[in-house]
Structure 1
Amino acid sequence: MRAMNEMTQRPSIDAPQLRTLLLTDLCDSTTLVERIGDVAAATLFRDHDRLVLDLQQRWRGRLIDRSDGLLLLFERPIDGLGFALDYVRGLREMGASRRLDLKVRAGLHVGEVLTWRNSEEAVQVGAKPLEVEGLAKPMAARLMAMARPGQILLSAVAEPLAHRAARELGERGQHLLWKSHGRWRFKGMPDSQQIYEVGEPGIAPLRAPTNSPKAWRDVPLWRRPAALAAEAAVIVGIGVGVWFATRPAPAIAFNQRDWVVVADLRNLTGQTVLDDSMEQAFRISLEQSRYVNVLSDMKARDTLARMQLKSDTVLDRSVASEIALRDGARAVILPTVAEVGGKVRVSAEIIDPNTQATVYAETADGAGVNSVLASIDEVTGELRASLGETVKAIESDSAELPKVTTSSLEALRAYSLATKAYARRDFGEASQYFSEAIRLDPNFALAYMGLARIHISRAENEAAKPFLQKALDRKSRLTRRDGLYLDAWAAEFGDKAAVEAPLRWKTLAGMYPDFYAGHFQYAWSAFVNNRFDEALKYASIATAPQEPMRGTAMELVGRIELAREERLKALRSLQQAQAIGGYPANRRQAAALAALERFPQARQVLQTLPANGSPDGQLTNQLERIAIEVDQGRWKDAHTVAASSSNAAKRATPLMANEFRAIELMVQSMLDPARLREADLEQLAQNALTEAERSSNRDSTPQAFFALAALKLDQRAGRTALADRLIPRIRTLANRVGEPVLRQMVVVVEAGQQRLKGQPQDAIATLRPLIDGSELFQVHVALHDAYRAAGQNEKALAELNWIAEHRGRAYSEVAGDQVFQSLNVADTRLARLSRAEILWQGGKTADARQELDLFLAGWPLDQLPDHLRRRAAVMLLDSKAKTTV
C-alpha cells in the first residue's frame, strides 16, 4: 500500500525552461524488421543504440523517450542540430554497410517545456525517469511528422539560432545547405509557421514537405486558382501600368560575388545552331562581371550526379533551382530565345531558387539569327544591373561578345561542344571540336587556349607552346579574365617562369577571387617551392563548393598538410578529396598511410593501382611503390620495382626515362654503394642536362634535378670529380631557369663538395642561409653531414632529429618531380642509425641502444644490406646479437 501511495503521489513540476527539442522517427522500421528478420534487426538496433549513445555524449543531449523514434532535449539548438546531422549520416553509413536504405526524419524546435521526475518506484514499473510536456513538444512532433525521409526540419525559432552558431561545427558548418519551405499551417494551431530545412550536400532532400491533413502549405489568397481567375483582369490592367511606372527592384537578396546558376537555354526557334552556341555566349558574357559569379557547367553537372540524376538532365527552372540551393547560389538565370513578330527575341529571367518565382526579366529583339550575340550582351548587362552591379562596373568589365569570342555561331557551337567534352576529360573529342572552331574562325583565341589546355593536361608541354602563342597573338579577342589566365600560362613557358608565373597567378586570384584557377595554380607554385603556409592558404580557397575541381584542390590541401607533418589531417583531406572526386584511393593516400607507418593499408591501396600499362601516366604510381618498399627495408623488392620501372620508362618520355633511371641508381646506392659506377651516374647527368638545355623552363627544372641527383649519389660514394666537371654547367642552367628550389639543390651539391674536400665549416656557412622553412629535405641531410665532419655532434644530432621526424615531408616534397622521394624516406630511417653512432661514440650507450632499436624496428637486421649491417654490428652489445650478425 505504501508503494502504491508513492507511485500515485503527484510529482513536483519544475519551473518552465527554454530548451531545444529534437524528435526523430526511423522511416519504415516495421517493414524493415519484417524484411531482414528478428535476429538481423536485433543486431541492427543494438548498433543503432550505440550510435545514439555516442551522439548523446558528443552533443550533450538528454534522451527522454524512445521507440521507433527519439525525443531528446538540448541546452542549445546547435547541439541538437549537430546530433541530427550526425544521426542522419550515421544511419546512412550503417545502412550502406548492410545494403539497407536507413533514413530518419527529424524535427527541431526551441520553446518552453515543463519537466518533472517520476519516483523510483514508478520508473521500476515502466515510467520514464523524466517527463516533458508543453506546446513545444507537439510543435517538434509536427515538424518531424511532415519531414521527408532523410530530412531535418527546423522551426522559425530554431533556425536563426542554429544558423548563427553553425560555424561551431567547423568546416562542415560552412558547407551546410539551408532552405526555407515557406509558411505552413498545422492542425490545432491558430497561426502559420515558417519552416526551414538544413542538411549536408548530397544527403539533404532539399524538397518541400508534402501537404497532409495535419500540415499544409499556407498559400496566399492571390496564389489560389479560384481567386486568381476572379482577379486576373484587374491585376493585368493595374499591374502592367504599375510595373512600367515604377519597375520595382527584384525581391532577391544578392550581394557582390554571390553565385548564379545558368539554366539550360530554351530554344523556341527550331534553329539548332543556337542550342549550344547561345548558351556558351550567355555564360561568357556574364563571366566578364567581377560582381556576379557564374557556377560552371562542369560543377552543375557534378551536382546533378550527387542528386542521382543523369548528366544530360535538362537544367530547367526546378532542377536549376535545386542545384542553386545545394551549391549556395543566390539566383537562377533562365535564358530563352524565340521568334516573335518576325524578330529573334533573347530573354532571361532571374529566378529565386527558394520559391522558383521570377523576380526580374529582361528581353532584347534583333533582326535574324546573327543578332543574338548583341542581344545577349544587352540582356546580360540589364541582368547584372538588376542584381546590383553599378553601371560604371558593367561598362568597365564588358566587351562585345563578337570581339571576345567569335562572330560565327557555328564556331561558337563547336567551342561549346569542346568545353563539354573537356569537362568529361574526353580530350580526343574536345581537340576535334576546338580544331573545328578554329577552322570556322581562325582568329578564335579561346579555341587556341582550349587546345593548349588539352596538351598541358596531358603533360605535353612542348606541344602546348604553339597554341599558347597563337592565343597570345589574338589576345585582344579575349575577355579581361581570360587574358589574365592566358598571360599566366604563357609565363609558365617563358624564360622567367619561376618568378613571373606565380605573380601572374596571384594577380588573377586577386582580380577574380572566385575564379579559382588562379588560387590553385599559385598554391601549386608555392607548394613546389616548399612555401607550405602560403600554399595551404590559397589551396584552401580553391576548395570552395562552387569550384568544379575542388576535389583536386582538396587533394593538394592534403599533400600540403602531409608536408607540414599534419599526417592524420592530411589523410582525412585526401580521403575527402577522394569522396568529392568519386575516384578510388590513389598514391597520395598511400604516401600518407606510409608516413603514418600504416604499411599494410598503404600496400593495399597500391595493389589497386595500375603500374606500367601506360608509361607516362600510370608509371608515376611506381614512385610510392618504390619509396614504401625502401621505407620497410624490403631492398630486393625495392630494387626489382625500380629496375622494372626504369626499363618501362625508356618507352615513355625523356623526362620519365631520366627520372626513373635516377631512382633506380638511388636504390642501388642504398643496396650496395660500392657497385655504383661513376660512369652510370655521369651518363644520367649528361642525358638529363642535354634535355634540360634544349627544353622549355617547365621541363628544364626536373631534368636539372635528375642531373643533380646523379651528382649527389656520386658524393655519397665519397667522390667529387663528377660534380667538379658538371656543377658549372648546372649552375648556369639554374640561373637561367631561376627556380628557387633548383638553386637550393645546386647549393646542396656545392656544400657537399666543400665537405668532401675537407672544408666542413665552409659547407655549414654555405647551407645555413637556406634554413627559412622552405628549405629542401636534403638541405638538412647535407647540414648533418657537414656538422658531423666538423665535429659539432650536438648540432648534427639536432639535424638528425629533424630528419627522423619529417616523414611527411620526405614523402610529399615535390621538387624535381619527387625524384628524391625514395632517398628522403631512406634518410628518415638512416637518421636513427646515425644518431645511435654519435651517441655511442659519446659514451651514451643506453641512449645509443634505444636509437639502434628504433632503427632496427623499421629496417630488420636480417634484411639490412651488408654496409649497414656492419655499422649496426659495432653497437650491438650482447654476444648473441653479434653471433646473429
Structure 2
Amino acid sequence: MWTRPAQGALTARDTIILADFLNTTGDPVFDSTLKVALAVALEQSPFLKVFPDDRAHEDLPLMQRSPSEGITRAIARQIAEREQLKALVAGSITSLGRHYVVGLEAVNAHNGDVMAREQVEVASKEEVLTSLGAAASRLRRQLGESLASIQRYDVSLPQATTPSLEALHAYALAIDEGRINDQRPESIPHLKRAIELDPHFALAMAQLSGTYANTWQSALAPEWSRKAFELRDRVSERERYMISWRYYRDATQAWDQGLELARSWTDAYPRESTAFNSMGRAAWALGQYQQAIAPLRESIRLDPRFFAPRLNLLWTLTGLNQFDAAKKVLEGARAANVHSIGFPQMAYLLAFIENDTATMMRELDAAVALPDGAWASNWQPRISAFGGHIAKAHEEFRRSVAVTSQTNLTELSGLYSAQDAISHAVVGQCAEARSEAAAAVHLSRDNFTLESAARALAWCDADADALKLSAELARRYPDAILTTHVMLPVIAAASALRSGRPARGLELLEPVRPFDHAQAAEFWPAYLRGEAQLQLKHSAEAAAEFRSITDHRGELVDAPLYPLAHLGLARALASGNDPDGARQAYLVFLTVWKGADANLLPLQQARREFARLQQ
C-alpha cells in the first residue's frame, strides 16, 4: 500500500467529479462496476459531494463530444473546469501476475496537480471491493475530512453494497449514466439479476422497489423494500437513509414517518439533494404545502438537473393556487432541459385553469408521443368528466384502459377504470359506477385502485362491496397514513350519508381534518361534510365546507367534485337566506357544466333550483 500526502485539502463546499475507472485487466466485470463502488464509498461522506454522472454526460455535447462518450480523466478535468468543480478523482485497476493493483488519484481540476494518491496491491479478485473501499477512506482523510466523520461514516464496500463483483456489475448496468433512475423499467432485469447473485444486496432491493413503485407496479414494490429494510443495518449511513425512505414510501406508505426520516437525513447529509426532495415530497403528500417549499427549493439548488424536486415544487405551488409561480418553475425546468412526463401534465392542467384549449392539446399531443405516453391517456377523460360530459368521458376512459392494458400497465388500467366509476358515481349514475368499480378491482388490486373503487361503491349504496374493499385495505396497508386516516373514514362516511346518517358521517370525518388538503383526499372529506351539514340543515357549516373546496382548486385541478362543490355551496347559501350568493354559485356551476349531458340529475336539479331563485 502506498499513500501520497495531500497537496491542498477540499472544503465542505467543494464538489468532485469521478472519471471512469481505467480497467486494463481485460476482465469486463470491472467495467463500470468499480466506478459505482467508488461513488458509494465516497458518498458515504457528508463532507464530499460527487457531481452526478448524468450531468457530466449532458456536458459532453457542449464540448462537441457524443453524450455516450466515456468520462476519461482528461474529459473529467474539462467538465470540472466548466462546472467550477474543485477536483476530479480517477481510479485504475491493473493486473500484476495473479494479483491486482488498484489506484486512486485526486487531481486539482484547475492546475492538474495531484492532491492525493492511494495505491494498493490486492491478492485476489474477491478482495478488490474491500481494498477499494479502504483506499477510498484513506483518500477522504487526505482530502480534508475529519477522522471523526470518517469513523462514523465508513462501512466497508462489500457490506455497503455487495461482496459479489458480478452482482455489483449487474447493479451498475441498472444505473442510468451514474444516477439511480427509478423510472426506467428496463433496469428491472438487471436489478433482479443482482439480487439473484447476492440475495442480501439491500441497495439493489431498495432500487427495485423504487422502480416498481414509479413505473405503476406498486403492488410488487413492498416485498423488496421490506427485505431491504430488514437488512438496513448492514449498509452505510447514507444507504440506510435511502433504504428506509423506500420502505416508508413504498411498503408502508407511512408519509408521517417518512417525513421524520427525511428531516434526520437532511441534518446528516446537508448536501444531499435526494434527502431534501424526500422531505418536500412527504410534506406535500400530507397536504403541508407551505412546509414543502423550502426543502424542494434546496433540493433544486443542490442538483438543478434532478427532475423530481422541480415537479414536486410545481405540484406544491399549484396546490397553493400560486399558478404564476408554478408556471415559472415549469419554465425553469424546460429551460434547464429537465424532462419528465409530469411537466407536460402540469402545463396541460395550468392551461386548463385558463381555458387555453390550444395549449392543452399541444401538451397532450407531446405527452402521448413520449415512451411513457400511455400514462397521459386519462388526462382528457378527466377534463370531460369535470365539465359534466360523462358519456364522452366514459368512452375516453375506456380507450385509456385499453391503451394502458396494451402496454401492460395494469395498475393504471385499474385506476383509470376506477376514475370512470367515480365520475359516474358523483352524478348519480350508480349502475355504471358499480360496473366500472368491479372492472377496476378485477384489473388491479393496488391500494389506489381499491380506494377509488370503494368510494364509488360507497356513494352508490353498494355498502357490502365497499366494506370488503375497506377490510382488504385495512389488512394490507395498516400503516399507510392516508389510507387509514383519510380513505377508510371517507368510505365509511359516504356509506353513512347515503343511508341517512349524516351525524355519523360527520363523526367519522372529524379526525380527517388535518389531511383535508392532501391531494390524495381529492376534496372528499370536505365535500361529504358539506353534504352531511345540508342534510342536517346547517347552512352556514355546509357553506364553509364547500368553500374550503372552491377556494383551493389547485389542490386537484381536474377533480370531478370541484364543480359539484359550487352546486353544494349554492344550495347552502340558498337555504341560509343568501339568494345573491346562491345565484352566483349556481351560475359558476352552470357555466362549468355548460354543454354537460342533459340527462344528468345534478344539472336538472340545479336548473330548477336556479329558476326558483330567479322568481
TM-score of the aligned structures, taking structure 1 as reference length: 0.59
Instruction: Show the counterpart of 1:555.
Output: 311
Q: How does 1:207-222 map to 2 (within 5 A)?
A: none
Compared with structure 1, are the counterparts of its residues 305 and 576 closer, same or farther at alpha carbon in structure 2 (3 Å cutoff)? farther
Residue of structure 2 aligned with 1:535, choices 285, 292, 300: 292
Query: How many Å separate the matches in 2 of 1:468 and 1:670?
Result: 36
* Residue equivalent to 1:730: 470
Q: Which residue type is aligned with residue 358 of structure 2?
A: P
Q: In structure 1, what residue type is equivalent to 2:419?
A: I
State the match for 1:148 in structure 2.
Answer: none
The structure 1 residue matched to 2:537, chosen from 777, 791, 795, is 791
Measured after TM superposition, the shift of residue 702 of structure 1 is 4.2
Structure 1 position 388, deviation (Å): 1.8
Tell me the number of residue pairs that the alignment of Structure 1 and Structure 2 aligns: 601
Q: Which has the larger radius of gyration?
A: 1
User: In structure 1, what residue type is equivalent to 2:547?
Assistant: N
Partner AA of 1:711 in structure 2? A
Aligned counterparts of 2:474 and 2:195: Cα–Cα separation in 1: 38
Structure richer in strand, relative to its length: 1
The TM-score with structure 2 as length reference comes to: 0.82
Work out which of the residue numbers 416, 419, 432 in structure 1 matches 2:175.
419
User: What is the rounded CA distance, in whole Å, between the counterparts of 1:648 and 1:268 in structure 2?
Assistant: 48
Which segments of 5 or more consecutive residues in structure 2 lack a partner in the other structure? none
SS in 1 for 2:32: helix
| More moved, 488-497 vs 309-318 | 488-497
Unaligned runs of 5+ in 1: 1-242, 715-719, 812-820
Superposition map of 1:410-809 within 5 A: 410-420=166-176, 430-434=187-191, 437=194, 444-464=201-221, 467-468=224-225, 471=228, 478-492=235-249, 494=251, 497=254, 500-546=257-303, 550-579=306-335, 580-582=337-339, 586-610=344-368, 618-646=373-401, 655-669=411-425, 673=428, 675-677=429-431, 681-682=433-434, 699-700=446-447, 702-712=449-459, 714=460, 720=461, 722-723=462-463, 726-727=466-467, 730=470, 733-734=473-474, 737-742=478-483, 743-756=485-498, 759-761=501-503, 763-772=505-514, 774-775=516-517, 776=521, 777-809=523-555
CA contact (8 A) 2:381 2:396 kept: yes
Say which of 278, 292, 304 aligns to 2:60: 304
Question: Would the aligned equivalents of 2:22 and 2:92 in 1 still touch at CA under 8 Å?
Answer: yes
Residue in structure 2 matched with residue 285 of structure 1 by the alignment: 41
Task: Report the identity percentage.
Answer: 20
| 8 Å contact from structure 1 (residues 552, 577) kept in 2 | no
The CA deviation at 1:592 is 2.3
2:175–2:187 Cα contact (<8 Å) kept: yes
Distance 2:193 2:496 in 1: 59
Contact 1:861–1:869 at 8 Å: present in 2 too?
no
Shift in CA distance, 267/878, structure 1 to aligned 2, threshold 3 Å: closer
Cα distance in 2 for partners of 1:422, 1:723 equals 50
Give, in angstroms, the shift of residue 261 of structure 1: 0.9
Deviation at 1:358, TM superposition (A): 1.6
For residues 117-156 of structure 1, the aligned pairs below 5 Å read none
Spell out structure 1 runs of 4+ moving beyond 6 A. 339-343, 686-692
2:122 & 2:514 partners in 1: Cα distance? 65
Cα distance between partner residues in 2 of 1:431 and 1:766:
42
CA distance in 1, matches of 2:387, 2:219: 39
1:376 aligned residue: 132
1:355-374 alignment, distance < 5 Å = 355-358=110-113, 360-366=115-121, 370=125, 372-374=128-130
- Cα distance in 2 for residues equivalent to 1:725 and 1:278: 54
Give the structure with the higher percent helix.
2
Determine if contact 2:493/2:504 at 8 Å carries over to the other structure. Answer: yes
Tell me by how many angstroms 1:329 deviates.
3.6
Quote the offset at 1:685 in angstroms. 5.7
Contact 2:24/2:94 (<8 A) preserved? yes
Query: 1:555, CA displacement in angstroms?
Result: 0.8
Query: SS in structure 2 opposite 1:310?
Result: coil
Greater mean alpha carbon deviation, residues 411-420 or residues 724-733: 724-733
- Conserved 8 A contact 2:280-2:296: yes
Post-superposition shift, 1:682?
5.0
Amino acid corresponding to residue 360 of structure 1 in structure 2? M
Kindly provide the CA deviation profile for residues 836-884 of structure 1, in whole angstroms up to 9, marking residues without a partner as x.
45555666555544444433433326865453145224434899xx9xx
Q: 2:560 aligns with which of 797, 806, 823?
A: 823
User: Match of 1:520, SS?
Assistant: helix
1:399 counterpart residue number: 155
CA shift for structure 1 position 559: 0.9
Determine which structure has greater relative contact order: mean sequence separation of CA pairs < 8 Å that are 6+ residues apart, divided by chain length.
Answer: 2
Deviation at 1:350, TM superposition (A): 2.7
**Counterpart-to-counterpart distance in 2, 1:281 and 1:422:** 11
Return the alpha-carbon distance in structure 1 between the equivalents of residues 455 and 208 of structure 2. Answer: 34
How far the C-alpha of 1:558 sits from its partner, in A, is 0.4
Tell me the CA shift for residue 389 of structure 1.
Answer: 1.1
The answer as to whether partners of 1:251 and 1:359 remain within 8 angstroms in 2 is no
Looking at structure 1, the residues matched to 582 and 234 of structure 2 have their Cα atoms a distance apart, in angstroms, of 69
Work out the CA distance in 1 between the residues paired with 2:555 and 2:255.
22
Partner Cα distance (1:388, 1:800) in 2: 59
**Alignment deviations for residues 363-401 of structure 1 (CA, whole Å, 9 cap, x no partner):** 323155646545433432232122221123223322333
**Rounded Cα–Cα distance in structure 1 between residues aligned with 2:73 and 2:597:** 66
Structure 2 equivalent of residue 858 of structure 1: 592
Amino acid of the residue matched to residue 785 of structure 1? Answer: E
Equivalent pair of 2:171/2:194 in contact (CA under 8 Å) = yes
Tell me how large the CA RMSD over aligned residues is: 4.2
Letter of the structure 2 residue corresponding to residue 734 of structure 1: A
Secondary structure at the counterpart of residue 542 of structure 1: helix
Q: Distance in 2 between matches of 1:618 and 1:804?
A: 31
Are residue 313 (structure 1) and residue 69 (structure 2) matched?
Answer: yes
Match in the other structure for 1:871 = 606
Distance 2:88 2:74 in 1: 10
Q: What SS does the corresponding residue of 1:459 show, helix, strand or coil?
A: coil
Tell me, yes or no, if the aligned pair for 1:421 and 1:429 is still in contact at 8 Å: no
Letter in 2 for 1:624: W
Q: Is the 8 A contact 2:546 2:568 kept in 1?
A: yes
Matched residue type, 1:277: T
Taking structure 1 as reference, are residues 865 and 543 closer, same or farther at Cα in structure 2, changes over 3 Å only? farther
- Per the TM alignment, residue 554 of structure 1 is displaced from its structure 2 partner at its CA by 0.5
Q: 1:365 is paired with a residue of what secondary structure?
A: strand
Aligned-pair CA distance for 1:625: 1.1
Distance 1:479 1:685, change over 3 A: same
**Aligned-residue offset at 1:566:** 1.2
Change (3 A) 1:639 1:430: closer
Tell me how far 1:290 sits from its aligned partner: 2.2
- CA gap of 1:702–1:334, structure 2 versus 1, over 3 A, is same
TM superposition shift of 1:725: 7.0
- CA, structure 1 residues 709+356, in 2 after alignment: closer, same or farther (shift >3 Å)? farther
Any idea what the Cα deviations from partners look like across 1:723-758, whole Å, max 9, x if unmatched? Answer: 377448726843752433333233334444554555
Distance 1:287 1:551 in 2: 20
How far apart in 2 are the matches of 1:489 and 1:878?
55
Q: Equivalent residue of 1:356, what SS?
A: coil
